Amino acid sequence: MINVTKTFLPPQSVYGAILERAWKTGWITNRGELVRELETRLKDYLGLDHIIAMTNGTLPLQIAIKGMGLQGEIITTPFSYVATTSSIVWEGCTPVFVDIDKTYLTIDESLIEAAITPKTTAILATHVFGNPCNVEVIATLAKKHNLKVIYDAAHCFGVRYKGQSILKFGDASTLSFHATKLFHTGEGGALISNEKDLHETLYYHHNFGHKGKEDFQGLGINAKMSELQAAMGLAVLDYIPENIEKRSKIIQLYKEKLEAVSFIEIRPGTEWNNAYFPVIFESEALLLKVLEALKAAEIFPRRYFNPSLEDLPYIDSNNCPISRDIASRIACLPIYESLSIAEVEDICNRINAAL
């Protein structure tokens, strides 16, 4: 069976050696030394000033919204994972969808200003498949209309844009460290802000509102990462450059072998992380035909992202025809470090034959 992804697991001996440190201290949660070490190493690796490791990748979105005191309407993209929209709704705000750019699949920055109303407080946009949004235009609009900017950067581990981490843009960015991601902690995530005061506010929100052991600075919830998760992250981190290189070669082979499909264009100035490989078919009928042919061989791509999020049952629908069209005929093909050349060629041959 070949799934769309396969969790990279470091040697058990490497993970176990790191985990042994937690066993010796008996400190398993509440921001032990492994969590703090992981945050330090991630700041160095990603080129960041601040980062808060968390227990999953959805809580950072919710805490960013809560920590900035956002209310009313938040302009967002319909082409993303459901957590982008559900976090807005969960925090009592209203998502207002803006359609996507048909080339880059990120939010169409030229449509944002028309969607701004007196109730708008923020823009929450997704760097889709690690492909950066037009951060310059979004920053200009946010400044003009006094809006906060949050980037869902779940797919962006290691992505750089114009010479710096993509996580340096906006008021806050969020990462997912889920087991399916390029870098993972089994389950986990992180919240990044480049402004010290906001970072401190977000920090106490993620730890019950604590200010020291007994005092409370404000409202908070429990989003802390455990030592067990941090140990996995520390074990995985050293393999990331090698794994990105392996994925790059797989993607190049896909591009050489596949026929009659389209590939997304990566925004100029981007050092991409090769975390996903989406392909776009001419129609949904062709996509379904290909998926059926691959399923017969126990090969399972995934329809990231379908349905378009304006079709969720708990929100009022916006008209986003490009997102709905792309969502109906896009799929991510299998990509992971141990996927062999023979397997990639077999996948390509089956797709080409079905088309």
Domain residues for the domain of 274 are 240-354
53 within 8 A of 42, measured Cβ to Cβ: yes
In a shared domain, residues 108 and 141: yes
Backbone φ and ψ for 95, nearest 5 degrees, come out as -75, 135
Residue with tokens 């994972």: 81
Alpha carbon 118 to chain centroid distance? Answer: 29
Domain boundary among the residues 237, 252, 283 is at 237
Has this prediction a pTM greater than 0.85? Answer: yes
**Which CATH number fits the domain that encloses residue 214?**
3.40.640.10
Of 110, 24, 33, 34, whose CA–CA distance to 75 is shortest? 110
Domain boundary among the residues 205, 237, 269 is at 237
Q: In what order do the strands lie in the sheet with 164-165?
A: 164-165, 160-161, 270-271
Tokens in use for 93? Answer: 């705000």
pLDDT in tens, the chain (355 residues): 999 999 999 999 999 999 999 999 999 999 999 999 999 999 999 999 999 999 999 999 999 999 999 999 999 999 999 999 999 999 999 999 999 999 999 999 999 999 999 999 999 999 999 999 999 999 999 999 999 999 999 999 999 999 999 999 999 999 999 999 999 999 999 999 999 999 999 999 999 998 777 788 888 999 999 999 999 999 999 999 999 999 999 999 999 999 999 999 999 999 999 999 999 999 999 999 999 999 999 999 999 999 999 999 999 888 999 999 999 999 999 999 999 999 999 999 999 999 9
Tokens in use for 259? Answer: 């026929």
In a shared domain, residues 197 and 249: no
Residue 151, SS3?
A: strand
Q: How many domains does the chain have?
A: 2
In a shared domain, residues 233 and 147: yes
189 within 8 A of 55, measured Cβ to Cβ: yes
In a shared domain, residues 287 and 344: yes
